[in-house]
Amino acid sequence: MSFTGEVKDEVSKLEFMEAENISELSAIVNSFYDFSGQIKIITENNSVARRVYSLFKEIYHVYPSVSVRKGYNYSRKLLYIVEVKNNVDRILKSLGITKSLPENFIWSDEDLVRAYLRGLFLVCASVNDPKKSRYHLEFNLNDLKYAKFVQKLLNGFNLNSKVLHRDNRFMVYIKEAEKISDLLRVIGAVKAVLYYEDIRIYRDHKNMTNRLNNCEQANVDRIIETANSQVKDIVFLEKNDAFDLLSDKEKEVAIYRKKYPDASLLELSQIISLETGNKITKSGLYHRFNKIKKFAVRIKNKMK
């Protein structure tokens, strides 16, 4: 089962008060109802189908018909179809479903909004498994006005959702790992949150370790490059009988650089301070090597 399927399976088994169940069912029906006179819910998840059947039965004491058929385009997945043909007008009124946005009483407080989002997730959302791919959660909707309404509900929980037009549909999506985890928490998917957070923390730690390793390697590469450049300047001066023109302090650091070609400036300053008894800082060492470099450049220019 996919991660989306696991989340839907968990959420569909939660129990709530009737008012929240009505808001949840309103979101489910609103995602499918086309004002044709009957309610038809289609899902690939059998747990969701059972959930929808139970909600109709418990709230309205009606018994929807349930049928199963093969998926579209030769898909091996089965489609579960839950249909209600009686008392449709009464049910729609109770669910606050109109040709515009749902009635305010359906989403009038935080618990009802959570329930509404829970219902939406069950029938029109998908979320990537954080272990297998990038962080992404989306609601697939068929109307821009409704998509913006859903975005408003989501962003009431600071989820930073966005709307994207894709083909003839509208996608309300969340990309940030922390925000996706927050949404799973909002709809009550506790097990999914724990799994998601474990993977997110592991991936963040791994990424941080890789970044630190890359930074460390980059530092090592810079140290080696700088040291090689300094050694080249010193060797050039020696070959062209210009080494003795350096000051005693500059000669000292040059000798130690050739002796310790892989040492960083900090390490080299500590070695010189310890072995000679003359304290020199990293900054002082840099200043002397800079003088050697400038002197080498002058010699090269004169030789042209």
Question: What is the 3 state secondary structure string of 250-286?
Answer: HHHHHHHHHHCCCCCHHHHHHHHHHHHCCCCCHHHHH
Residue with token string 């009686």: 86
Kindly report, as residue ranges, where domains of CATH 3.10.28.10 are found in the chain: 3-188
CA 76-42-37 angle, to 5 degrees, is 145
Class of the domain covering 3-188: alpha beta
- Per-residue model confidence as pLDDT tens digits over 145-159: 999 999 999 999 999
What are residue 81's phi and psi, to 5 degrees?
-115, 120
Residue with token string 């709230």: 59
CA distance 132 to 189: 19
Is the pTM of the predicted complex or chain greater than 0.85? no
| Polymer length in residues for the chain | 304
DSSP letter, residue 285 = H
Nearest to 127 by CA among 206, 77, 200, 68: 200
CA distance 25 to 62: 14
Answer whether residue 84 shows pLDDT above 80: yes
169 forms bridges with which residues in the sheet? 166
CA distance 107 to 115: 8
Element (H, E) at 173: strand 169-174
CA distance 224 to 303: 28
The strand ranges marked E within 9-124 are 39-43, 65-70, 78-84
Q: What is the token pair recorded at 263?
A: 């040492």
CA distance 225 to 82: 70
Q: How crowded is residue 275: how many other Cβ atoms within 10 Å of its Cβ?
A: 10
DSSP letter, residue 157 = T
* More confident call, 128 vs 204: 128
Nearest to 42 by CA among 20, 69, 60: 69
* More confident call, 188 vs 33: 188
- Per-residue model confidence as pLDDT tens digits over 127-140: 998 888 788 999 99
Among the residue ranges 30-34, 38-42, 145-149, the one predicted with the least confidence is 30-34
Confidence class of residue 265 from pLDDT cuts 50, 70 and 90?
confident
CB of 174 within 8 A of CB of 159? yes
- Per-residue model confidence as pLDDT tens digits over 231-242: 888 888 888 888
Q: What is the pLDDT of residue 249?
A: 84
